[in-house]
Structure 1
Amino acid sequence: MTSVALPQAGRRRRSLVFAVATLVVLGLAVLLVPPIVQLDERIVDLRSAGLPPSLSHPLGTDEVGRDVLLRSIYGLRVSFTVGMVASLVSITIGGLVGLVAGSVGGTVDRVLMRVLDGFNSIPHLLLGIFIVAMFSPSPVAVVVSVGVTHWTTTARIVRSEVLSLRSRPFIEAAISGGASRARVLRRHLLPHLFPHLILATVLMIPHAIWHETALSFLGLGLPPHMASLGNMISDGQRSLLTGDWWASLAPGLFIVLPTLAVALLANHLRDRLNPRRRSELSL
């Protein structure tokens, strides 16, 4: 048992180090590079168009001469900011719906769950396209699209946790002692729900980034001139026809690496929040 647990513990430790190191490096790049190197989205340099990776341009240039690495960093900053805000909106909506449904119950619970089932019956991307089509391409449109379409999972998690907590002895004792619903919510429910909301937020950020990337790739997300990973991949597919593979590879890596890092970090957080699951994995 010990010999099996030790390699698993080592792998989990290495994956955590990789995730933290990747997020730190990308975070420092996003925070430090834009203030130092300014990027004007509308300036083109056709003399430097389509240059392969070199010392002056580590990831080459795109079809109009813009540095791919610099635009990828700017695009990651935009995508991460939009994804983080959208995930917070989604978690807030889902948390409130799940909290009301689980704590009130009865007709309110049934109505909210039917609304949730209605949202789940529509593909998220299709509903997101319908929402952003009502706006001009902008970060606000993407935030609204992700926030409105991705709250259902959080709502189900919060509702199930509230229903489970309501039957616990300490909740029943608090209610029997005359505690108001607001006090039970503030002192007993929210402290137990907070770790689950943190984990849901961490998991939602890369999902929101992929959603923004898909919308921008389709031309419905961020404005075409804005440095976005989705816009860069969309522009880079034209460069593939001329052999300029780096124009699509770089933004693709800037999507995959933080997504993988966040997924590994979320797995570690889930193991920490659920010691029973961690002990079962070590058997």
Structure 2
Amino acid sequence: MRPETTTPMETAAPDLIHTSAAAGRSGRRSVRIAAATLALLGLAVIVVPLVARVDERLVDLGSALLPPSPAHPFGTDEMGRDVLLRSVYGLRVSLLVGLVAAAVSVVIGGLVGVIAGAAGGIVDRLLMRVVDGVNSLPHLLLGIFIVALFAPSVWAVIISVGVTHWTTAARIVRSEVLSLRGRPYIDAAINGGSSRMRIIRRHFVPALIPHLGLAAVLMVPHAIWHETALSFLGLGLPPHLASLGNMINDGQRSLLTGAWWPSVFPGLFILIPTLAVAVLAQYWRDRTSPRWRSELNL
């Protein structure tokens, strides 16, 4: 009898399975940590302003630049204001800007993408040239130009981000619509006499909702960074409003005296939710678009 032999693939199979299982457990743990982090930050944004007994705009020069302590866990800034309280208020404003701006971008981009993909021909080419033209402009510079047309306010920043970041959603929706147009059930609906609007409403929109949701989730941290950059440059929110960008800008002067907390903690309030959203968005993409996943994670 011939001795049994094993191929390299068979020998490596248990290792691949073990690696895949370990990667799956690590991924689920990361998702749970990210979800818990966002839930905790969201709870803080809602609860802290309700229970806080101190106005975040209250100036107390006698308590300026106090280091972190039980009374002020994140310390105080150069005006004696509590950094933790102002960071929570700043995060609330940033989340508001991010969510609304992401919704505006997805609505504009979704409409443009659906029209371009469904109409085709010259309409498609014209709209895609508009998308290319907007993409060729630096978004931050274009955002600065738009914000300069208005008085500093939350809505000026939302309009700036929404108008300059819709092109990504437009490209995603257009490519998905072009893919759907070649499906047999779309041809059957056309041959059955369905109008273009009915096809868009009954077939395109349900298939596009997961992709639009993912685009909106990915847009939120990008919008937060955009708002922070505008506020850091002094072009976003008014100085009297708590903004993470304003706080980091103000904290620069304190760094020269060795006070690191007025700028480091607001920076963490930007970085941590951004990373958490990125982890959840990656998980969402893997669940809604399995073709993007590695075979080891299937």
TM-score of the superposed pair, with normalisation by structure 2: 0.93
Match of 1:225 in 2: 240
| Residue correspondence of structure 1 range 118-197 to structure 2 within 5 A | 118-197=133-212
Q: Which residue of 2 aligns with 1:102?
A: 117
Q: Gapped runs of 5+ residues in structure 2?
A: 1-15
SS of match in other structure, 2:293: helix
After superposition, the C-alpha distances for 1:233-275 in whole angstroms (9 at most, x for unaligned) are 0111111111110000110000000000000000000000022
Shift of the 164–219 alpha-carbon distance from structure 1 to 2, 3 Å rule, reads same
Q: How does 1:240-279 map to 2 (within 5 A)?
A: 240-278=255-293
Distance 1:109 1:143 in 2: 28
Root-mean-square deviation (Å) = 1.1
> Structure 1 residue 29 and structure 2 residue 36: aligned?
no
Alignment check: 8 A CA contact 1:52 1:244 kept: yes
Q: Shift of the alpha carbon at 1:279? A: 5.2
Deviations 1:127-179 (A, max 9, x none): 11111111111111101100110000110010000011001001010111111
Checking the alignment, whether the CA contact within 8 Å between 1:4 and 1:282 is kept in structure 2 is: no
Say which one has the larger Rg: 2
How much does 1:280 deviate? 1.9
- 4+ residue runs over 6 A deviation: none
Residue 51 (structure 1) shift? 0.2
Q: Please state how far the C-alpha of 1:182 moved relative to its aligned partner.
A: 1.6
- 1:3-152 maps to which residues of 2 (within 5 A)? 3-37=18-52, 40-152=55-167
Letter in 1 for 2:162: G
Residue equivalent to 2:5: none
Q: Distance in 1 between matches of 2:275 and 2:33?
A: 10
The CA distance in 1 between the partners of 2:130 and 2:195, in whole Å, is 28
> Cα gap change, 1:281/1:200 in structure 2, threshold over 3 Å: closer, same or farther?
farther
Tell whether the 8 Å contact from 1:61 to 1:247 is kept in structure 2 after alignment.
yes
